[in-house]
Amino acid sequence: MYQPSRGAARRLGCCLRAYQARLQLPNLFLRSHDYNLYSSDVEFINEILNIRTKGRTWYILSLTLCRFLAWNYFAQLQLEVLRLSQHPEDWTLQARWRLVGLPTHLLFLRFYRRDKDDLYRTYDAYSTFYLNSEGLIYRHRLDKLMPSHSPPMPVKKLLVGALGALGLVEPEEEASLHLCPKS
């Protein structure tokens, strides 16, 4: 009988989890989720609500809380998966997704409008799923925006730029800091 190597089994596990996530993510707010994709000690880091949990039970409760909050805020809700990519080099699945919905308060305030297309709101988020050696998800990190690969602007330059815009710093001092990088 053929026994795949450990590396081949991990690649197969990564592909299988990507396929299962592709099927389940769009229905996250509509149907119950298959939590067998996750290890029993899964860690959930939600940077949007500042929630950190460890364990599958707490993960289920956290996702249920997120679903509850979303369904109470939106009268109509849809999750769109914009991009789902697998990265076998660091054993992660990365998903960029968007919530599109009609907020309940806007529906009540603008009930008389026939065309409600401009009332819909979108919220983008970025999830990273980390896989363990069995191919199960052991960490889910949820961020509001996609991580930036550019280094952050130092605070000093930002403050001096703001002071320069207000006219509180001499132009020579502002120019010496090279606030605007040359292209």
Residue ranges per structural domain of the chain: 6-151
pLDDT for position 3: 40
Q: 6-151 sits in which CATH class?
A: alpha beta
Residue 39, pLDDT above cutoff 50:
yes
If one compares 162 and 17, the residue with the highest pLDDT of the two is 162
Q: Per residue in 2-29, pLDDT tens?
A: 343 455 445 445 555 555 666 667 777 7
If one compares 65 and 172, the residue with the highest pLDDT of the two is 65
Residue 41, pLDDT above cutoff 80:
yes
How would you write 7-71 as a 3-class SS string? HHHHHHHHHHHHHHHHHHHHHCCCCCCCHHHEEEEEEEEECCCCEEEECHHHHHHHHHHHHHHHH
Average pLDDT, the chain: 75
Measure the CA–CA gap between 99 and 18, rounded to whole angstroms.
Answer: 20
Residue 177 CA, chain-centre distance (Å), reads 35
With 0-12 / 13-18 / 19 or more C-beta atoms within 10 angstroms meaning exposed / middle / buried, residue 95 is buried
pLDDT for position 34: 81
- Whether this model's pTM surpasses 0.95: no
